[in-house]
Structures are given as structure tokens and as C-alpha cells.
Amino acid sequence: MRSLSPVSWAAIAFILLACGALAATLISPPPDPADHPLAPRFTGLHLAFEAAKLCGGLEMSPSVANKVGAAIDAEIGGAMGTATRLVLISDARATLAAAGCDSALARDALAQFDAELKPALE
């Protein structure tokens, strides 16, 4: 039987290391969106936006969504991925739904909307 050349052994070792790295990447859990450094700011802005829609009577349209989205993106600077954003938006909606429109959370969020996001609509 023929033995493998040193180049073949090196290729096999590289393939095994690459497979191991791939397996470690696939097995490791994804990062928690709440751990992102901009998560509190992003969540607060979306909580304000959700409060304006649910409790403040803000009528949604593509134009409104685009203007508010652009204002939030300007604050975040595009530093957050789509999956992280979606999880944080869902968390903001759930938090507001649980607290209700009569809560201090909703009142504070509406005040934040008026101060920080409403100017983007004008």
C-alpha cells in the first residue's frame, strides 16, 4: 500500500480543522440580541414608535414607516443586523402590550416619540 505524501497529510489536516471550525460555529448559540450595545436605545425608540401607533393614534402608512425607520436608523447607524432588530422590535411590542396604554411606560414612550421621532414626520 502506498503512503500519503506530506502535502496530502497537510490537506487532510486542513480539511479536518475546517470541518471542526464549521461544526463549532454551527453548534454555538447565536448571540442574545439584548446584549448588543445599542439594544437599549433601539428598543426604546421602537417602544416609542409602538406606543404612538397603539396608544397615540399615529396612523401608519408607508411614508410614516419610512420616515420613522430612517430616524431610528440614523440613531443606530446601521450597526445592528436584521435578525437582532426583529427580535428587539418584537420585544418592544410585547412589553407595551403587557403594560397597556394607561401605564407609565406608555406615557413615557409617547413623550419620547414626541421628542425624538415626531420631528421626522414633519
pLDDT score, position 118: 92
pLDDT score, position 30: 62
C-alpha–C-alpha distance, residues 116 and 108, integer Å: 12
Digits of tens for pLDDT over the chain (122 positions)? 577 777 677 777 788 888 777 776 667 666 677 777 888 999 999 999 999 999 999 998 999 999 998 999 898 887 788 888 899 999 999 999 999 999 999 999 999 999 999 999 88
Rounded to two decimals, the pTM is 0.72
Positive or negative torsion for Cα 87, 95, 74, 31: negative
Whether residue 118 contacts residue 110, with contact meaning beta carbons closer than 8 Å, is answered with no
Concatenated DSSP letters of 64-79: HHHHHHHHHHHHHTT-
